[in-house]
Structure 1
Amino acid sequence: MFESARLKLTAWYLLIIMLISMLFSVAIYDIATREIHSIINRIQYEQYREQNNGFSGRQGRSIPFTIKELQAVKDRIKLQLFFINAVIFFTAGGAGYFLAGRTLRPIKAMIDEQNQFISSASHELRTPIATMRAEMEGSLLEKNIADKDARKLITSNLEELGELQNLTNNLLQLAQVHNVKAEKFQEDVSITECVASALKKVKSLAKRKNITIDKEITDAIVTGDRNSMKEVFVILLDNAIKYSPPQSEIHITSEMAKNVVTINVIDNGIGIAKKDLLHIFERFYRADKSRNEEGYGLGLSIARKMVETHNGSITVQSKINKPARNALHSNAGGGTTFSVTLPLKTS
């Protein structure tokens, strides 16, 4: 598909260039031949005038071209123009093919990304649907299903429906974020307030694993959307809690520079392999170690897009955690740090 479109675009480039080249060639040939005929006509006119004025004793100017020589000159002009157009044809063809590839490359990348997105979304949707169908078909085979089993089936289906709802909500949120422009956000946002709101939202998750979260941040004001900023920190904290061992610690720190503020979310979790670091912000991407964890791999993609919409950036550094006997000392130099950098409000 891509190669076919590239060849078609190259053909259009080549057609346009050659039409322009041919028009110029015809114009050049016409001007050159007209000039030759004009010179011959002037010489003939001077000869005629000298003869009629009685200068017969004076040798008139002779015409420097015969008809055959004139035709030979025209043929040489045609041949030169042909070679020039041939060079233009092959040069334009190669350049057009290269430019067509450059032009279509972003489109191809977007189409490939969409296809991958559709494939991943379909896979994630198919799994819970298949599970519910299998459970319901199994229950139908039983002639007399007990109330306890029926309740268990309904509970399981509700859990699967909850997962489907979370997935669709994430997909809608991702679509909305991609359609939002930075100019839309004009309110002053306190980083301290956003982090505090995010901590309240993930408090119960941290409590389940007995994880302590401490923050040492200096308040900073940025221009943006308060809910989006809060959601970014919720995603990062949820991710840190999810992949941290029980009874561990998560730290939130900040660094102020001249025109930006950087907020770091640091955990002592399992860490991320180098081969996965390049892909963790991609939609539906999950590292092998995280396959057993809940989620669809959309959170970090949403967080990155939200930060970029606010003219900021998000980076990650990680080291694989070395296992230890005691969970309290299991970091062993491992863990992950997500850093969100945002421009400060300009006065």
Structure 2
Amino acid sequence: MKSSSFRLITWYTILFVLSSLVINIYIYTVISSFIYEQSRSEVEEDLHDLAEIYQDDGVEAFEVETFEDEEDPFLVRLVREQDDVDILRVPGDWEDFDERELETGAEAGEYVYVREGTEDAYEVTSLRLEDGSVLQIGQTIAEREDLLRKIRNHYLFAIIPIILIAYIGGLFIADRALNPIRQLINTLNSIVSKAKLDTRVPVRKEDKLNDELISLFNTMLDKIEALMNGMRSVLDNVAHDLRTPMTRLRGTAEMALENGEDAGALREALSDCIEESERILIMLNTLMDVSEAETGAMKLNFEIINVAPVIDDVVDLYGYVAEEKGVSVRAGFPEELFLTADRSRIRQVLANLLDNAIKYTPSGGRIDIEASRTDKEVEITIKDTGVGISEDELDNIWDRLYRGDKSRSQRGLGLGLSLVKAIVGAHRGRVEVSSKPGLGSVFSVHLPS
């Protein structure tokens, strides 16, 4: 966490400093351009004014205007066509001025730097007049460069406060950004050290992304807690459901040992042991089938089958059981319903659903089995007029070893619907249920055709 915080602070500081430098460079460029334009606009204005006086009023008026203001900071030079200097005015504070440093061939609007890089540097611009003469005006750049130098120095001095501000901002940002992660770590430590699965990270509603991360983490904990509770429930159910056959098995064996001389009793005891062990094996095998189907490890023998005869076989198989209970079974579907599936596993699905419907439909009730086909799927519906399922239990009936309140009196393992959902899911299909207590249930199996 410390290295992450350090990296975040470092990157934020670097980005903040670089951004500040870019902004400062831009501001400095704008300011320097403004200063240059301002100082040169005065030079060019004076240049054109003197040129106008020279061309309109002559050289004498030009000379009077040039030397009238002794405080004028500009250099003024007028060169005739023969390159003889007619007029030259040099500001009084210019020392060691050498006229030979000036160039007469500069174009209008261009500036020539003289003594560049020294304290006495100045710039000169020229304008060629109509009679061929050249008018030059120059100004010292010392004050301008000194002002720009001061601005640059202030920017350099501002780097340290900028770095400090960036570092403090980085600390704040890193703390805010990593705080949800710290909370997640603390919550995980609490779960690991104290095994408190009900611990949750509080959502502060300060940052949408962090809030979403915390919400997803809390949702994951909810699912883990539900899974752990489900595992405990499964283990409890397995232990409960195994205890009865194992107790019977043990009791039968003990009774057989006590009556060891009676061959008939021994034979009956062995038969009971086989029956109970078969019940245990069925439970374990069904659990294995559910797990394999849910994880994709179940081996399915896919082939193109007509599901109509499969439904007929299942109805014939359970017809006697339904008749014994006084429940009528009616089936109606086309003779040809082809799809790609594992025949034995589809038979297992239909058998489990029909067996449940018969179990929970009282005498005098009715079960309707229908099937139809669309372009994309085959739908098989089993509708009964049984006791129905409460809304609170609908989401739980697919869980392994789950048995509702009304099913505890019936013989069974609580694995039939789990196996149904797992097998249908392995076929990339889906199974749906709708039910109302006292009115019956409707199970619909949708298989891709």
Instruction: State the TM-score bracket (shorter-chain normalisation).
Output: 0.7 to 0.9
> What aligned pairs does 1:283-302 form with structure 2 within 5 A after superposition?
283-302=400-419
Say whether residues 1:275 and 2:392 are aligned partners.
Answer: yes
Q: Residue 399 of structure 2: SS of its match in structure 1? A: coil
Highest RCO, 1 vs 2 (Cα 8 Å, sep ≥ 6) = 1
Structure 1 stretches of 5 or more lacking a match? 1-10, 322-333
Give the aligned residue type for 1:117.
V
Higher mean C-alpha displacement, 106-115 vs 287-296: 106-115
Cα deviation 1:7-37 (Å, max 9, x = unaligned): xxxx6xx964x45523423433664797789
3-state SS, counterpart of residue 119 of structure 2: helix
Which has the higher mean CA deviation after the structures are superposed, 184-193 or 169-178? 184-193
Q: Does 1:237 align with 2:359?
A: no
2:380 corresponding residue in structure 1: 263
Q: Distance in 2 between matches of 1:34 and 1:297?
A: 71
CA distance in 1, matches of 2:406, 2:261: 38
- Structure 1 equivalent of residue 9 of structure 2: 22
Partner deviation per Cα, 1:30-77 (whole Å, 9 max, x = no partner): 64797789x8xxx9xxx9923275999943514436989855542243
What SS is found at the alignment partner of 1:271? coil
Give the 3 Å change call, closer, same or farther, for CA 57–76 of structure 1 in structure 2. Answer: closer
Instruction: Pick the aligned partner of 2:272 from 156, 170, 178.
Output: 156
Residue 64 of structure 1 aligns to a residue in which SS?
A: helix
Query: Take 1:152 and 1:247, find their aligned partners in 2: how far apart are those partners?
Result: 36
CA distance in 2, matches of 1:31, 1:264: 69
Between Structure 1 and Structure 2, whose CA radius of gyration is higher? 2
Letter in 2 for 1:51: E
> Cα gap change, 1:19/1:231 in structure 2, threshold over 3 Å: closer, same or farther?
farther
Contact 2:292 2:298 in 1 (8 A): no
Q: 2:164 aligns with which of 65, 75, 78?
A: 78
Q: Secondary structure at the match of 1:166?
A: helix
3-state SS of 2:118 partner: helix
Greater per-residue helix proportion: 1
Which one-letter code corresponds to 1:205 in the other structure? Answer: V
Q: Does 1:128 align with 2:245?
A: yes
**Secondary structure of residue in 1 paired with 2:146:** coil
Alignment partners' CA distance in 1, 2:298 and 2:271: 42
Q: Which runs of 5+ in 2 are unaligned?
A: 33-114, 123-138, 181-209
Contact 1:136 1:153 in 2 (8 A): yes
Flag the 1:57–1:213 CA change in 2: closer, same or farther, 3 A. Answer: closer
Match of 2:173 in 1: 87
Preserved CA contact (<8 Å) 2:9 2:174: no
Change (3 A) 1:262 1:33: closer
The answer as to whether partners of 1:185 and 1:223 remain within 8 angstroms in 2 is no
Q: Which residue of 1 aligns with 2:65?
A: none
Q: Distance in 1 between matches of 2:269 and 2:297?
A: 44
Q: Which amino acid aligns with 1:49?
A: G
Distance 1:91 1:165 in 2: 54
> After superposition, what is the alpha-carbon deviation per residue over 1:103-150, rounded to whole angstroms, capped at 9, x for unaligned?
66655555554454344333322332133234444665x487755544
What is the number of residues matched between the two proteins?
314
1:172 paired with 2:288, answer yes
Q: Secondary structure at the match of 1:172?
A: helix
Q: Does 1:214 align with 2:330?
A: yes
Structure 1 length-normalised TM: 0.72
Structure-2 residue corresponding to 1:8: none
Matched to 2:8, the amino acid is S
CA distance 1:110–1:144, change in 2 (3 Å): closer
Check the 8 A contact 1:187/1:224 in 2, yes or no: yes
Closer/same/farther in 2, CA of residues 71 and 102 from structure 1, 3 Å limit: farther
Q: 8 Å contact 1:188–1:224 — kept in the other structure?
A: yes
Report SS of the residue matched to 2:397: coil
Q: How many Å separate the matches in 2 of 1:86 and 1:48?
A: 48
Select between 282-291 and 205-214 the one with higher mean Cα deviation. 205-214
Which residue in 1 is equivalent to 2:436? 319
Residue 293 of structure 1 deviates from its aligned partner by 1.2
Measure the CA separation in 1 of the matches of 2:20 and 2:374: 72
Q: Say whether the 8 Å CA contact 2:365–2:385 is kept in structure 1.
A: yes
Determine the C-alpha separation between the residues in 2 that align with 1:149 and 1:179. Answer: 45
Change (3 A) 1:105 1:148: same
Determine the C-alpha separation between the residues in 2 that align with 1:103 and 1:320.
Answer: 33
User: What is the CA-CA distance between 1:244 and the residue it aligns to?
Assistant: 2.5
Report the AA paired with residue 362 of structure 2.
P
| More moved, 158-167 vs 257-266 | 257-266
State the identity as a percent: 23
CA distance in 1, matches of 2:232, 2:393: 21
Following TM superposition, by how much is the alpha carbon of 1:165 offset from its aligned partner in structure 2, in angstroms? 1.7
Deviations 1:190-248 (A, max 9, x none): 22022123224434433543543221112322222222211111111111122223454
The alignment partner of 2:409 has SS state of coil
- Asked whether 1:197 is paired with 2:335, we answer no
Find the aligned partners of 1:240 and 1:25 in 2 and give their Cα distance. 66
